[in-house]
Amino acid sequence: MPKINLHTRRLLASRDLRLALISLDEWNIVDINGPDHLSYLQSQVTIDVTTLLDNQHVITAHCNSKGKICTTIRLFHRGNGLAYITRRNMTKTQLNILKNYSVFSKTNIITDKNAVLLGIAGDQSRYILETIFKHIPNSISPVVQSEENILLWFGEPAERFLLITTKERAAIIRNTLKIKAQLYDSAQWLALEIEAGLPIIDSCTSFQFLPQEANLQELHAISFNKGCYIGQEIIARTKFHNANKRSLYWLTGTAERIPEAGDSLETKIRNHWRHIGTVLAACQIGKSTISIQAILRNNLPENTALRLLSDDTSRLLIQYLPYKLYSKI
């Protein structure tokens, strides 16, 4: 995927963004087409692909036979087939798994190396996009396709857009917005994904968690009515036996360093710090606030004291997600 170099600058929470143009170099887009592409993908991911409308995009998971998430993907229609957005560091691994059985079906799976992905966020984002594009997506129609462009709408943590376009068109947009917008690298989009409670599964946390543990049931990213898919038996059993003991959380606070995916988190039990969960993603917001996405034990009180492993200076608190956890209902 061509890179549009934007600035590395101090990240902001969604409420503080005015107009941001964000390079999404840490994500890739993959196309799936061919006569059997719908039925093939239906056997691979957790949502019912046959119900996906032309103007929708959805998050879903691609799992292994044990029901553990390989990675999450953002799926939508593109041209005569489907496309999805996934983390760059997981693309090769996930494609190899996805292609394992595609030789038995008429399905083409190709990374689009020519597309450019850009994020547009902030409370002025809709206004500025209306000066560039004729049609803008919204909550009713979250996907708009026109010529060489696709725009995806996101409502959380605040209105934002993901643009899929050509290198030439991306350069024009960058030049149009560079005076009005703050330019960010992909870390700013990651910060918004964390705040929105959308699970980030990277190479070091892949194949560790069930979809329910990453809140994909709350995000309507699992179908329990479709036919078989890889990992379906264990995922269904977890739901119907009420066996899930973990959830995805958003934490903020302070620490000596920005944690990395796979780092351990602790809580205090009877005056001793004990392991309670795993970091999926993290970044620094503003001057000193650490924002973390983590999978922890279910039903933790909101005032639970948390810290990074063996970091005596670390103080982390649970923040509200923009959706309810089933375990708390």
Does 189 belong to an annotated binding site? yes
Distance CA 23, CA 116 (A): 9
88 contacts 26 by C-beta, under 8 angstroms = yes
Structure-token pair, residue 261: 């995916």
Query: Buried b vs exposed e over 304-323: b needs ≥16 C-beta within 10 Å?
Result: bebbbeebeebebebbebee
Which residue shows structure tokens 């990074």? 308
Polymer length of the chain: 329
Contacts of 147 (CB under 8 A, 6+ apart): none
153 marked as binding residue? no
Contact partners, residue 171, CB within 8 Å, separation at least 6: 4
CB 4 within 8 A of CB 116: yes
Judge whether 160 and 154 are in contact, CB under 8 Å: yes
Apex CA 191: angle with CA 308 and CA 235, to 5°?
Answer: 75
Structure tokens at 28: 């890739």
| Residue ranges at the known binding site | 27, 189
Q: Which residues are annotated as a binding site for folate?
A: 27, 189
